[in-house]
């Protein structure tokens, strides 16, 4: 199926609705659940980047060595399955 200009606005709206729904679900989550972090093993954390992806460019990384979703110290050069690139 070819990409045509008519589908782009529809995709934009669907993407925005999906993000808003996820945000609403996360905001309704009790604080105790939301504050629990994954262990490095659960996140499949590694101290090396995966291709061009690393903690340094992840939106979840908190300089100098923390992460919003992975417990413990994280390296700027690390990577895990929770990696989230900025839009």
Tell me what percent of the chain is helix, strand and coil, each rounded to the nearest 5. 35, 15, 50
The answer to whether residue 37 scores a pLDDT higher than 50 is yes
pLDDT digits (tens, 9 = 90+) for 6-24: 666 777 877 777 777 777 6
pLDDT digits (tens, 9 = 90+) for 39-49: 999 999 999 99
Q: What are the b/e assignments for 19-44, b being 16+ CB within 10 Å?
A: eeeeeeeeeeeeeeeeeeebebeebe
For residues 37-59, average pLDDT: 95
Q: Is 46 helix (H, G, I), strand (E, B) or coil?
A: strand
User: The pTM is what?
Assistant: 0.57
Residues 6 or more apart from 42 whose CB is under 8 A from it? Answer: none
């Amino acid at each position: 199926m070819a990409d045509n200009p008519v589908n782009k606005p529809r995709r934009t709206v669907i993407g925005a609705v999906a993000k808003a729904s996820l945000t609403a679900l996360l905001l309704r989550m009790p604080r105790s659940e939301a504050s629990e972090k994954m262990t490095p093993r659960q996140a499949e954390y590694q101290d090396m980047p995966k291709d061009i992806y690393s903690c340094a460019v992840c939106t979840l990384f908190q300089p100098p060595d923390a992460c919003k979703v992975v417990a413990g110290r994280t390296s700027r050069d690390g990577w895990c399955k929770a990696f989230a690139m900025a839009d």
